[in-house]
Structure 1
Amino acid sequence: MKVSVIMPVFNEEKYVRKAIESVLGQTLDDFELIVVNDGSCDSTLDIIRQFTDSRIKLINQDNQGPGASRNNALRHARGEYIMFLDGDDWYCPDAIETAYSEAKSRDTDISIFQIIKYDGKYSKNDWFNLDNFDETFEDRVFNPHDSGDFLFDISVSASQKIFRRDFLERIDARFPEGIFFEDMPFFFYTYLKAERVSIIKKHLYVRRKHEGSTTEHVGGKFLDTVPAGQILMDIFIENGWYDMYKFDLIAFKINGPRYALMAIDEEYKKPLYTLIKEDYEKIKATPYYGDYLENLGPVKRKFFTDIIASGNYDDFLRLSKK
């Protein structure tokens, strides 16, 4: 078939019906929908089983997290192209047809489309609206390095893209497992490995904003900003991209946990500090330590050095106030 839509779900009983219906109602019908029930303990599985459409393939597994769920589905996918849908979001009616037509006609490895947010009303933002891509990127194929000036300002969401399946297989693309924020390393690896990319300045995907969304509440999931950043750094070093992007890469790596530490629930502040401290101590013992000191701006550099100089979280707070 033309497209495999991969949808991992975990306790999405409020939203999963709409997500599935948005796929089944698409203007293009040559697809498979691979739904991965990741150990839901509410009525999610019962709702999925109410659908009898033969294009739905159900994978029922113990809870393994979003990365493992997507990887499991990728092993079963047979579509020419791959798309991702979160269980609390939905597609616009022509999403699959528009994305497939763009990717197929331009022979792209990845094509990126716009997302619109919904929290009772629809709203746009620069991140999901692809505003960083000016008119020179429209209606053409480009190399990902053409967007190097704003690489770290591109939305990392896997759900915002259509991927050629044999491209993902050729580069052995997999999501990190056992952590949240798995989209981020996956995006940078696949995007920089791609040779042909295009954008679609049309809203094809609706992202529902609610309290249960991973990025809407700064809770324990944000502890994973540290390992996600470590994986990202390894990807850039192992693939020879580090020197090309180190200035923005280092800032990006520092900022994720830095913002998380400021906003995370009080009960997670000390555990997150400990993870950051351990990470920075490891960096100090590598050849890249000097790059952090030389390339970080004053605010991020002070955060970095205060973490290293501090003995514990309270000590860090005292240093950071100076």
Structure 2
Amino acid sequence: MEKLVSIIVPLYNVEKDLMRCVDSILAQTYPHLEILLIDDGSTDSSGRLIDQLTDPRVRQVHQPNSGQAGARNKGLDLATGDYIIMVDSDDWIRADLVEMCLHTAEETGADLVLFTSYNVNQAGEKQYVNRNSGHLLTDAGSVPWNKFYAAKLLSDIRFPLGYWYEDLGMIPAVVLRAENPVKLNEALYFYQTDRIDSQSNLVQDTKFLEVIPMLEHVVSEAKRLSVYNGNEQEIEWLYMEHLVYRTVLRKIIDLKDHQLRKQALLEVRETMQKTFPKWKRNGYMSGSGLTACLKKIAVRLYLAGFIRLGDLVWKIPFEKRRQQTGF
């Protein structure tokens, strides 16, 4: 009997990009699919668009707005497949994603297949994302969409509600739970990087510091699932990547209010000191080569309170690079 693969797509007000996503799923070379389109209270035409679909593999679900976490959780509650993937509604996937991942899982006995992706900007330019080892927490990524899951991995775990970065609160625990993760170097997913309303493109005061309770949630879930012991360094490095490097060098640098920047940097420093007192000597590097060195220097300057020096080392060059590359 053919394996059933459930594809969960949460959607909210994405009428412009929605059908590109759905069409890429309907065009999969592996046909035995359960496609769960979860309309999370859209106020545009998104709900009407999915209701027009007649493919029997598609199940349309409409619910009051509960956020992306609530929509994904609904999909997980309804999924009946042997395997599960998640696709964001403004992204799209390669036609052989399911076929390639399913073949890999069945051939190797993998309970988690990780693949890589392309970042795509509004100009249509693509940037390949290298995942290195693929299975370490900082390589695998905290996003749910670059992974092909055996359903059992997700049977009793859900996204935390009411937070930004809910992916970060759950996905690393799932990765730690996997007994046989396998990585593919193929870029099977196309991630739209410069969507206007993306959390990755918005700075609303210091709400991005919700990475802290999400990282704490990873710890509690890892302990609940009995995968914390033996993975302490992985979790410490997860804190390093998401709270120290990404928050300081991608979020805090965009705050225009100098006092808010100081307060946010203080919270990062105090959290790391409380959770991992020896974090400055744990050997973690974000990236490689000169970039990794510059990141390390900039982080130390920012967290020591030398904000202008940090900007000279990192923010100004980073902005120039972003303008030049489009990413």
The TM-score, its normalising length taken from structure 2, stands at 0.75
8 Å contact 2:252–2:264 — kept in the other structure? no
Counterpart in 2 of 1:255? 245
Indicate which of 233, 240, 244 corresponds to 2:229: 240
Counterpart in 1 of 2:166? 182
Q: Extract unaligned runs of 5+ from structure 1.
A: 138-143, 307-315
Structure 1 residue 154 corresponds to structure 2 residue 155: no
Indicate which of 128, 131, 151 corresponds to 1:165: 151
Indicate which of 45, 52, 55 corresponds to 2:54: 52
In structure 2, do the counterparts of structure 1 residues 118 and 244 end up closer, same or farther at CA, with 3 Å as the change threshold?
A: closer
Deviation of 1:177 after TM superposition, in Å, equals: 1.9
Counterpart in 1 of 2:111? 109
Structure 1 residue 203 corresponds to structure 2 residue 182: no
Q: Partner letter of residue 121 of structure 1?
A: G
Counterpart in 2 of 1:10? 12
Counterpart in 1 of 2:175? 191
Q: CA RMSD in A?
A: 3.2
Counterpart in 2 of 1:22? 24
Q: Distance in 2 between matches of 1:54 and 1:88?
A: 22
Indicate which of 192, 212, 215 corresponds to 2:196: 212
Deviation of 1:73 after TM superposition, in Å, equals: 0.8
Q: Partner letter of residue 264 of structure 1?
A: D
Deviation of 1:319 after TM superposition, in Å, equals: 11
What does the per-residue CA deviation read over 1:197-250, in whole Å, with 9 as the maximum and x for residues that have no partner? 112222222222333262551423634333333334545666224643365344
Q: Partner letter of residue 240 of structure 1?
A: N
8 Å contact 2:30–2:98 — kept in the other structure? yes
In structure 2, do the counterparts of structure 1 residues 237 and 273 end up closer, same or farther at CA, with 3 Å as the change threshold?
A: farther
Deviation of 1:87 after TM superposition, in Å, equals: 0.4
Structure 1 residue 290 corresponds to structure 2 residue 291: no
Structure 1 residue 266 corresponds to structure 2 residue 256: yes
The TM-score, its normalising length taken from structure 1, stands at 0.77
In structure 2, do the counterparts of structure 1 residues 282 and 96 end up closer, same or farther at CA, with 3 Å as the change threshold?
A: closer
Deviation of 1:25 after TM superposition, in Å, equals: 1.7
In structure 2, do the counterparts of structure 1 residues 202 and 242 end up closer, same or farther at CA, with 3 Å as the change threshold?
A: closer
Counterpart in 1 of 2:84? 82
Q: Distance in 2 between matches of 1:216 and 1:208?
A: 11
Counterpart in 2 of 1:63? 65
- SS at structure 1 position matched to 2:102: helix
Q: Distance in 2 between matches of 1:289 and 1:190?
A: 22
* Greater CA drift, 209-218 or 14-23: 209-218
What does the per-residue CA deviation read over 1:266-301, in whole Å, with 9 as the maximum and x for residues that have no partner? 37x7667656655765666x5x45334654867545
- SS at structure 2 position matched to 1:41: coil
Q: Distance in 1 between matches of 2:94 and 2:120?
A: 12
Structure 1 residue 129 corresponds to structure 2 residue 130: yes
Q: Distance in 1 between matches of 2:261 and 2:9?
A: 30
8 Å contact 1:225–1:256 — kept in the other structure? no
Deviation of 1:154 after TM superposition, in Å, equals: 3.2
Indicate which of 91, 94, 103 corresponds to 1:92: 94
Counterpart in 1 of 2:287? none
What number of residue pairs does the alignment pair up? 290
In structure 2, do the counterparts of structure 1 residues 91 and 317 end up closer, same or farther at CA, with 3 Å as the change threshold?
A: closer
Q: Which structure carries more relative contact order (alpha carbon 8 Å, separation 6+)? A: 1
Deviation of 1:263 after TM superposition, in Å, equals: 3.4
Counterpart in 1 of 2:320? none
Q: Distance in 1 between matches of 2:220 and 2:71?
A: 23
Q: Distance in 1 between matches of 2:210 and 2:94?
A: 31
- SS at structure 2 position matched to 1:266: coil
Deviation of 1:8 after TM superposition, in Å, equals: 0.4
Counterpart in 1 of 2:213? 227
What does the per-residue CA deviation read over 1:22-41, in whole Å, with 9 as the maximum and x for residues that have no partner? 11121111111111111211
In structure 2, do the counterparts of structure 1 residues 243 and 92 end up closer, same or farther at CA, with 3 Å as the change threshold?
A: closer
- SS at structure 2 position matched to 1:159: coil
Deviation of 1:115 after TM superposition, in Å, equals: 1.2
Q: Distance in 1 between matches of 2:188 and 2:203?
A: 29
What does the per-residue CA deviation read over 1:123-146, in whole Å, with 9 as the maximum and x for residues that have no partner? 233xx333x13xxx9xxxxxx5xx
* Greater CA drift, 100-109 or 116-125: 116-125
